[in-house]
Each structure stands twice: as C-alpha cells, then as structure tokens.
Structure 1
C-alpha cells in the first residue's frame, strides 16, 4: 500500500536526517541587488550567523528562431544564508526562493514554528505576488544498526513498492549492486511527490571514507504548484505534511515502527 491511513505517530528514533521547506516566487530583483538588512534584523535573534555567496546563473539564449541567436551570461544569483547558533537550522534567501532546512527534526510543530516568523517577515518586507511552488522535502535515512535491527532483511522493514529487486524472494541482497526506486505521482489536484528510495552507503563529508553500513534512503520531495496566495502558503505546507505522513507510514512495516519506538 503506497498511502497509509495509519495514525500520525511521533517516533523516538525517527529517521528524518534533513527536512527542507522551499517556497519559490517570481523574481524580486531587489533581493539580489541589495543586502536584506531589514530582513536580517527581524530574524537575527534566531538566526544570528550570516553568510553570502554568489552562484552562477544559467546563460540566457536570445533571438531563437532568428538569424543571430545570442548566448548571454546572466548576473550571478546572490544566496544569503542565515544560520542558528547551533548550526542545525539554516534559512536561505535568493531572488527566487526562501527556504528553511534543519538537521534536527523533532516534529512538524517545531519545524512549522521555526518557519512562521521568517516567512511572515519575508512576506511583510518583500510582498511577493504569490508563490509559484511550495515544497516540503524529507530525507529519511534508516539505519538497522542504530535501531537494533542488524541482520534483518529489508523486506521485513520496508514496503514492497520501495524495494525493487530486493523485494524478490530469490534475490540475495549482497548480489544486488543497485536497486533504487524512483517515481513521481500526483497526491491531489494541486500536489505531487517525487520519491527516491533504495539502499546505499553514505559519506558524512566529501573526501571521507564511506560508512560501511548499508542504510535505506527514503527521499520524499512533495510540492504544490500553481499560484499559491501568500496567505495560503502555511495551509499548503500543512497539506503537504499530511501527504508526507501517509507516504512515510505506507513505506514502513510494523516491525520498523516498533523499532523506531512510537511515543
């Protein structure tokens, strides 16, 4: 079953590694051209650290269909980063999006509360016309060793839809070199999900040794498209979170739920 009606449950050992919310809007050029001093002042108590980077923008092709099409290099995009004291929460602002991410996800209510003030201040200061895309992404990393499940086969822990070849009874896991599952699906008339799932070994940082344990990665990228009114963005995120709950609960088995320790 892809979507589960299992009641929403908080887990003491939840596998959420990183959670990211991104809201995209029609370009506001003043963000790129002027440092967001007023915005920083409004959120500085919660995000006191600041960094700024310049990122190359894709070139623009003009005159297509004519005799002399031209490739024009666009102005770099400025990415402003506001970071919490413990470095676990990060807020990004560019001319096209605002995003909040965390490496310490304890539950939806805390995450939504952390987003509430920065999003309200952004809307107050910059007055975006609407949001083109409201996105919510959960990167889950399931470690059998951490959960006391070392040696348990993945079919006992993960639903068949996410296992690919690993779900077949005549397949030895050690013989499977790659069994990633990737798909996209509609969730309702305005929401969709892009899912990546499969086992893998991770690196904590570039140029460091791989983690020897094979973990299961469940990466759920949910989004709402169209022209989402600013005053409806919070409700849109609540809708995406509800869909994410149904997807996650549909991906795990009762054995994995028990190991994650329902609270």
Structure 2
C-alpha cells in the first residue's frame, strides 16, 4: 500500500514493514484508572512487584510534580511513582495511584509489545485490582539525527517536510509543528520537526542527544469523559492494538519508501 493510497486517520492501517534499524526513541502505553490511594504505600504494591519481578527486577521510586489549574491559582503537588525495569533498563513499568504505563526504548514488534502489555495488565488486575479505566493512550516517538536522515525531500512526504525542505532550512534554530485531530480510535496528536543539538520537546520520553535531530511523536488516546469503562485486560489490549495500528498508519503516510529502506525495511 503506497502512502498516496490510504487515509492515515481512518480505516485499515497498512501492513507492517519491519525496520531492522528503526529510529524509535520510545514506545509507550498508558492506562489511567480512578485513583487507588493505597498504591502510594510501598507495602500495598509489594504483590504487584512480586508478580513482575522476574522480568522487571530493578525497582525504584520517584516523587513527581503534578499541577492542578484552579480558578485563581496553579496548585502544585508531589505524588509517589513506582518504577520497575528489566535488567538492561530497556523496558520500564511506571505505576502511580491512578495509572500504569509500559515503556520501551528497544521496540522489536507490535506483537511483542502487546504481549508484554498483557503481562503487566494481568499482574495489575490480580494484585492492585482497578475496576474501571478513564483513559488508554499509545505513543510512538521517532528521532533521527539529521546527518543520518539525508535529503529531507526524499525521506518525508512534502506536507511533512514543509519549510525544512526549502532554502530557509540553513537558517533554522528549530522547527516544530503540531496537529490534533479525531480518528476512529479517539484522538490523534502528532508533533514533528527539527530540534537543535541537546534539544528535546520532552526529555523524559526523548532524551537529549548531541546532534541536531528530526523527530516524529505520534500519540493516539481515548478518554471516557462521562463514565469510566470497566477494566478488562483483553479489551484494553485490543484497544491498545488498534491505537498502535493508527500510530503506524500515520507514520507510514508521513514517510517515503526511501525512508523505510534507509532504516532497514524491505520494500
């Protein structure tokens, strides 16, 4: 399926073309649920750690800053966050009082990611026992040093290359674009552009590097505003799979076949 032949926002996604040298900086899925205050207690989350410890043996805690926008003020709070990582620190679970997230910087395939997600959600259901879900989101972040990207006109479709494919490019300090739109799976938020050396639009997800880089951040999510949905692992994984496919659909629309070949795809 060529990038000109399909709608990246609706309908079936194109068949995956594995990239042996995929430029992924991070892939993550977050499931947000109604707050369970006991998750802040290290004794309460011990059962969850024991369920996943063989695969995620590294354990740490963080205090994260949260903000609430009030009518006449900005309220700041600190909240407890638990981190569980594999021995190589390539995969990480983050657990808070109202969410769990699985993140990797060594993504191999959608099937592998979903299998690991199922494992984490099964462990959560058996030990923490959330009953409902407010939000499910899946996010793919690509980043390529511009020196490795080559001629941007050959790598990206012209709508994505924009001013970066013109003679103005040599004068850029940075260039970042953003679009939000409705898709079959909920809402799509895409950010992309060129960042200077040591630049990052979100260092936690895309750590800084020494080189100028091009990035593409695709986030598909759905929030249940009226009432939360029930927490059912099989339904959540199916939902995550659909969102991952939508992320891939936009990625395939955004890049050219030359881009796929450059990073190990067999066309």
Residue number in structure 1 paired with 2:41: 33
Residue number in structure 2 paired with 1:24: 32
Checking the alignment, whether the CA contact within 8 Å between 1:24 and 1:131 is kept in structure 2 is yes
1:201 pairs with 183, 189, 196, which one?
196
Checking the alignment, whether the CA contact within 8 Å between 1:81 and 1:93 is kept in structure 2 is yes
- Aligned-pair Cα RMSD in Å: 2.8
1:166 pairs with 143, 164, 167, which one?
164
**1:238 Cα offset (Å):** 0.7
Q: CA 1:60/1:180 → structure 2, altered by over 3 Å: closer, same or farther?
A: closer
- For the residues of structure 2 that align with 1:137 and 1:252, how far apart are their CA atoms? 17
Checking the alignment, whether the CA contact within 8 Å between 1:163 and 1:179 is kept in structure 2 is no
Q: Deviations over 1:154-210 (max 9, x none)?
A: 121112232232245xx342123332111111111x41111110012343999x996
Checking the alignment, whether the CA contact within 8 Å between 1:24 and 1:96 is kept in structure 2 is yes
Checking the alignment, whether the CA contact within 8 Å between 1:224 and 1:236 is kept in structure 2 is no
1:239 pairs with 242, 255, 267, which one?
242
Q: Deviations over 1:19-45 (max 9, x none)?
A: 111111110111123431111111100
- For the residues of structure 1 that align with 2:68 and 2:182, how far apart are their CA atoms? 32
Q: Secondary structure at the match of 2:67?
A: coil
Aligned pairs, number: 247
Checking the alignment, whether the CA contact within 8 Å between 2:117 and 2:237 is kept in structure 1 is no
Checking the alignment, whether the CA contact within 8 Å between 1:16 and 1:140 is kept in structure 2 is yes
Residue number in structure 2 paired with 1:84: 86
- For the residues of structure 1 that align with 2:129 and 2:263, how far apart are their CA atoms? 42
1:207-218 aligned within 5 A: 211-212=210-211, 214-218=212-216
Q: CA 1:199/1:70 → structure 2, altered by over 3 Å: closer, same or farther?
A: closer
- For the residues of structure 2 that align with 1:71 and 1:91, how far apart are their CA atoms? 29
Gaps of at least 5 residues in structure 1 are none
Question: What TM-score comes out, normalization by structure 2 length?
Answer: 0.82
Checking the alignment, whether the CA contact within 8 Å between 1:164 and 1:180 is kept in structure 2 is no
Residue number in structure 2 paired with 1:257: 260
Gaps of at least 5 residues in structure 2 are none
Structure with more strand by fraction = 2
Q: Deviations over 1:60-110 (max 9, x none)?
A: 86xx7xxxx999876x31101111111111111000110111111111111
- Compare 219-228 and 34-43 and name the one that shifted more: 219-228
Q: CA 1:204/1:91 → structure 2, altered by over 3 Å: closer, same or farther?
A: farther
Checking the alignment, whether the CA contact within 8 Å between 1:163 and 1:180 is kept in structure 2 is no
Q: Secondary structure at the match of 2:133?
A: coil
Residue number in structure 1 paired with 2:137: 135
1:220 pairs with 218, 221, 225, which one?
218
Question: What TM-score comes out, normalization by structure 1 length?
Answer: 0.83
Q: CA 1:228/1:142 → structure 2, altered by over 3 Å: closer, same or farther?
A: farther
Q: CA 1:252/1:137 → structure 2, altered by over 3 Å: closer, same or farther?
A: same
* Larger of the two Rg values belongs to structure: 1
Q: Secondary structure at the match of 1:180?
A: strand
- For the residues of structure 1 that align with 2:239 and 2:59, how far apart are their CA atoms? 29
- Compare 18-27 and 171-180 and name the one that shifted more: 171-180
